[in-house]
Structure 1
Amino acid sequence: MNFKLLLVIFVVSSLFISSAQNTYVPVYLMLPLDFINNDGNLNNESELDDWFGKIKNDAGADGVMADVWWGIVESSETNYNWAGYDQLVSLLQKHDLKLQCVMSFHQCGTNTGDTCYITLPQFVLDVGNSNPDIYYTDKNGHRDQEYLSLGVDTETVFNGRSAVDMYNDFMSAFASHFADHLGNTIVEVQVGLGPAGEMRYPAYQLQENLWKFPGVGSFQCFDKYMKASLQESADKAGHSEWNKIPDVEYNSYPYQTSFFTDDKSDNYASQYGDWFLSWYSQQLISHGDRILAKANAIFSGKVQIAAKISGVHWWYKTSNHAAECTTGYFNTDQNDGYKAPAQLFKKYDVLFDFTCLEMSDSAQPSWADCGPQELVQQTLSDANAQGIKYGGENALKVYDTSSFGRIEDVARQGINGFTYLRLTSDLIDNDGNWNNFKGFVWNMHNL
């Protein structure tokens, strides 16, 4: 065969192989939490216009993520104000950018990085004034108003509607209003299932300085609805004496608690401990199931549905994984706490969204037994085992190439998208930060 022909075949084959190995991972940027004001209109529309042009034309990013705030949109019962989101969609269409929407059924203002204060709708707060058990409650009676307790998922205490009814009505109204944009401009709907939009209990509460890192957190099932469920479950198990909730303080370390101490007879690994953690985590799975079933009926076949799991990485390297357990993830050395969420997400073809992809073990305090890298690997493995899509986020603001490199390393293992926290002036207006980010986007598009 002619040598030149062989050379051409070799070059073409090499290009084909290289192209086949290339992986394109789309990159989105979270909008500022206060991109919309409490009246429901866009803040700083001209600035967003400039930023969108820059992230599209200079960085080549794929789109943005926006919280669709329940407390702003449904300011009065079943009356929905989509004006600011109409403005946002028009602006994104102008720049040919896609939109990930978060059905944000939670409060903003008390978590890490929160820059504004948005409550639950006032008509919900009014119910809470007379019936505070609608909120997650700790052993000291503190009511967390970030998100409604899963105990009222099916309780029709909101003027004839249950919590799930309200979430369903909100998502249905959203889908109806934006029907022409679903699947083109709006490509993903992430369903909020707990505080900060994550499927979890508010075990590590920052409000009123209740919790500080790396405390194990505290169980959140002392409202009357969840206590009734616990009693019923204990009776069905034939152990009515198990109707008790472990006494765990927010800022304790595992070995400072009786429940998470390895050599105690009634600890997490005992028959009672295993039963309680199974009940506590299953309540969370059932909560997710109820809401995702509604989301699936509304959005399936139109957009990708997603749900978010929190990156609780402190005490990961202990046998008890205490901080994960209080958060609702029964992830001890004897139990895989992320298999059940992955199985739930498979049921409704939901993308498994996870945080802290940028973190390294070495950057965490060794005495807190943190394992963010192992945690990412575990969740990715569980998602892969179920054959479902996996998306990632960074948990904290990062601009350095080392953090971006760790995200890229995870992406090479097969993820379906990455959402960067967050689009701010610190990113856009700092040349060093911006150049690092542009390089990151290019790398994610050419893995």
Structure 2
Amino acid sequence: MRKLSYSLIAYMLCVVALFSSFSTAQAEVKPNYKSYVMAPLGEITDWEEFKKQLIQLKESGVYALTTDVWWGKVEGTGDNQFDWSYYEKYADVVESSGLKWVPIISTHQCGGNVGDDCNYPIPAWLWEKDSIENMAFKSESGYLNKEALAPWWGGIENQYNELYKSFAENFADEKELIVKIYLSGGPAGELRYPSYQFADGWEYPQRGKLQAYSEGAKKDFGLFIQEKYPTIQELNAAWGTELGSWSEIQPPNNGEKFFRSGEAYNTQYGKDFMEWYQSTLEDHIEKIANVAHMQFDNTFNVPIGAKIAGVHWKMNDPEMPHSAEYSAGYYKYSQLLDQFKQSNLAITFTCLEMGDHDAYNPPYYSAPRTLVTQIANLANVRGISLNGENALPLINNEWGFDNSAEAVFNYNFDGFTLLRMNHLFDSEGNQTNEFNMMADKLGVTPIPVTFTVKDVPAANGQEVYLIGDRGEIGRWNTAEHKYKLTQNSDDTWTGTFNLAADRSYEFKFFLKDEDGKITWQNLETNRYHTPSIGTGEYSASW
């Protein structure tokens, strides 16, 4: 193996000596980590060219192709009138390429969201089943959204059960091909509310709009509150109101004021509303998971999963923190992931390609890397299978691929799904730079590196952390790539983690006490640089 070695002299105001060396032991990379690619949204017309491209993906180390199976395409002509012929052809071509297949049972509309380049509405005949006020979402502005069925509509279980059952019956002979099945939980296939929708006037990085204003939503909110408070008197005591009947219970009459005034965070009314708002998502995923397990487990015996969106903006907004997440229905992630665990569902989480560079910059207050690590840690504690994905339909730079690779390699992800296949080939069918970066960064074994730190002024109960980044001037961010170091018997501290190849790194150190307070740091006075780390055996010392 090729060996790299070097020495680096740095001025140190605090006496810290450290060295790093290649470790043959993998850090936290799962031995069964797999790379996936998501198929184009639109319809395949040139099957031969499609197959050629799939074979190239297979040869590059990709394990499986992930495909939206559009509800509007397979049951669009009428209730229980299924036509699976297109996806049967699709499965045959995937199988002939050598790839495995991950179908997404896409019960949402394609069109209107970021990266959508097709138009597949959900079946039109559905809207004859009940009133639009019971079946659709309605926002603060009064906009009616029909891109997915509202979770409080009572007919969802039956409709999904028929769809799932028909899929299982028609693809039972593809047991060896299908390795996982994903369920669409809402808009864009994600378990969330359609709070950030262009057609409703939303622009990034605005908060988005609450979706609690249809008659069906108001009724469901009222029932939730009645179940929590036995009498209207107890409700008034908790909320500080003088309601005369249950029918007077309403969602916030001004969503912006609800957040900016602190009502969402500091009042019992606000907390109760947000509890209900998220609980509808929890109830929804529980129902569809139960139906999916009933229809798929005996036939396919594969993991079933759903996607949570990486709503990373407004996280640190000083006036309304986490308001974008709240508007999308993400109020308490730990409680939401408890439901995934109870429902025996895997999770795909997005925005792994992004960094925290705008974490405290208005108007974004965007902290995607912090959010990724938060969700990963919650999933790992619960033993939930975790898969990563980029948020935008194209990762067009090396930095984004590095971020994605280091997240999955160090936070116990089972795999990563790249959006989207059509960006990996040009109009002539040739591999693009995105294809090469995918293969280099996400399809190869990462490099485990062990760092040992000496002479750190640590006291009992403190923890030493190493922070690593690409070292670009002006782009340093302490929220990225934190790795805890453990204390050895000789008062040194050691930590092993994974790095992507062909990249230079910059490292700093700091100490935190039991309350998370930083007690010592060398962030500005000492920065330790490496040259570009290649593949093969790696050793270094300072």
**TM-score, normalised to structure 1's length?**
0.84
**Alpha-carbon contact 2:75-2:123 (below 8 Å) kept:** yes
Number of the residue aligned with 1:379: 375
1:201–1:22 Cα change, 3 Å: closer
Tell me by how many angstroms 1:80 deviates: 1.1
Tell me by how many angstroms 1:49 deviates: 1.1
**Alpha-carbon contact 1:399-1:437 (below 8 Å) kept:** no
Number of the residue aligned with 1:287: 284
Which of 8, 21, 40 is 1:32 aligned to?
A: 40
- Asked if 1:212 corresponds to 2:203, the answer is yes
Separation in 1, partners of 2:69, 2:197: 23
Separation in 1, partners of 2:23, 2:402: 25
- Asked if 1:167 corresponds to 2:160, the answer is yes
The residue matched to 1:68 in structure 2 has which SS? strand
Number of the residue aligned with 2:215: 224
* Unpaired runs of at least 5, structure 2: 1-21, 237-242, 448-497, 499-542
Tell me by how many angstroms 1:221 deviates: 1.6
Tell me by how many angstroms 1:18 deviates: 6.4
* Unpaired runs of at least 5, structure 1: 1-13, 37-41, 155-161, 250-256, 331-336
**Alpha-carbon contact 1:25-1:416 (below 8 Å) kept:** yes
Tell me by how many angstroms 1:19 deviates: 11
Amino acid at match of 2:158: D
Number of the residue aligned with 1:95: 97
Tell me by how many angstroms 1:299 deviates: 2.1
Separation in 1, partners of 2:265, 2:23: 55
Amino acid at match of 2:205: P
Number of the residue aligned with 1:197: 189
**Alpha-carbon contact 1:258-1:267 (below 8 Å) kept:** no
- After alignment, is 185-194 or 364-373 more displaced? 364-373
- Asked if 1:400 corresponds to 2:408, the answer is no
**Alpha-carbon contact 2:29-2:408 (below 8 Å) kept:** no
- Asked if 1:315 corresponds to 2:308, the answer is no
- Asked if 1:245 corresponds to 2:251, the answer is yes
**Alpha-carbon contact 1:281-1:329 (below 8 Å) kept:** yes
Tell me by how many angstroms 1:311 deviates: 0.6
Amino acid at match of 2:250: K
**Alpha-carbon contact 2:424-2:432 (below 8 Å) kept:** no
Whose relative contact order is higher, 1 or 2, with alpha carbons under 8 Å and at least 6 apart?
Answer: 2
Amino acid at match of 1:259: F
**Alpha-carbon contact 2:347-2:387 (below 8 Å) kept:** yes
Number of the residue aligned with 1:417: 415
1:229-251 per-residue CA deviation (whole Å, 9 max, x = no partner) reads 222333342426471212445xx
Separation in 1, partners of 2:28, 2:268: 51
Amino acid at match of 2:399: S
Separation in 1, partners of 2:163, 2:89: 19
Matched residues, percent identical? 29
Which of 366, 379, 384 is 1:370 aligned to?
A: 366
Number of the residue aligned with 1:85: 87
**Alpha-carbon contact 1:23-1:445 (below 8 Å) kept:** no
The residue matched to 2:137 in structure 1 has which SS? strand
**TM-score, normalised to structure 2's length?**
0.70
The residue matched to 1:173 in structure 2 has which SS? helix
1:141–1:410 Cα change, 3 Å: same
- Asked if 1:67 corresponds to 2:60, the answer is no
Separation in 2, partners of 1:438, 1:116: 27
The residue matched to 2:205 in structure 1 has which SS? coil
The residue matched to 1:180 in structure 2 has which SS? helix
**Alpha-carbon contact 1:146-1:195 (below 8 Å) kept:** yes
Separation in 2, partners of 1:297, 1:445: 39
Tell me by how many angstroms 1:433 deviates: 2.6
1:235-269 per-residue CA deviation (whole Å, 9 max, x = no partner) reads 342426471212445xxxxxxx322125x5x4432
Tell me by how many angstroms 1:214 deviates: 1.2
CA RMSD of the aligned region, Å? Answer: 2.4
Separation in 2, partners of 1:112, 1:86: 28
- After alignment, is 17-26 or 81-90 more displaced? 17-26
1:349-371 per-residue CA deviation (whole Å, 9 max, x = no partner) reads 21111000110111678212111
**Alpha-carbon contact 1:25-1:444 (below 8 Å) kept:** no
